[in-house]
Amino acid sequence: MIRIPQHANGRLIDFNDLLAEVDRFLRVDHWRFQVSECLGDGADAIEERSWDGEVLGDAELRALYRGIYQTINGRFVGHQAGQPVCELEAVDSSFWTVSGPAGLEDRLRDLHGEWQPATR
């Protein structure tokens, strides 16, 4: 598991950005997700729909999430043939935790760096 910052290299990193890298390593056929807060077109519908957890096919979730530009708090578990293969979790608009194949984790670490807590 790695933690990557939500804000890296002068830009916001969100679920749609992470999907491009997931696609390089996995074929996810459906997602189990729960989003308590997100921003963008359709945010209210996503938050209401996924309050207790929701399962959608990969294409359906991508279409639903297309207008979202930031996930404040949300968890996405990608499944392939009924088995979980990756997990992406937005934590308090600060960082993403990512669990998946080592290649995926390494790639995301190389692209975005590792999140470090603020020091006082």
The reply to whether 19 falls in a domain is no
The reply to whether 101 falls in a domain is yes
The reply to whether 17 falls in a domain is no
According to the model, what pLDDT value does residue 87 have?
99
According to the model, what pLDDT value does residue 52 have?
81
Give how many domains the chain has, as a whole number.
1
CB atoms within 10 A of CB 74: 24
The reply to whether 23 falls in a domain is no
According to the model, what pLDDT value does residue 41 have?
97
According to the model, what pLDDT value does residue 9 have?
78
The reply to whether 56 falls in a domain is yes
Query: Is residue 14 within 8 Å of 68, Cβ to Cβ?
Result: yes
Mean pLDDT by 10 residues, the chain (120 residues): 90 94 96 96 92 92 96 97 97 96 95 85
11-12 vs 2-5, strand pairing mode: unpaired
According to the model, what pLDDT value does residue 1 have?
95
One-letter identity of residue 99:
S
Query: Is residue 105 within 8 Å of 15, Cβ to Cβ?
Result: no
Q: Is the pTM of this model over 0.75?
A: yes
**Residue ranges making up the domain that contains 81:** 2-7+28-112
The reply to whether 117 falls in a domain is no
The reply to whether 108 falls in a domain is yes
The reply to whether 120 falls in a domain is no
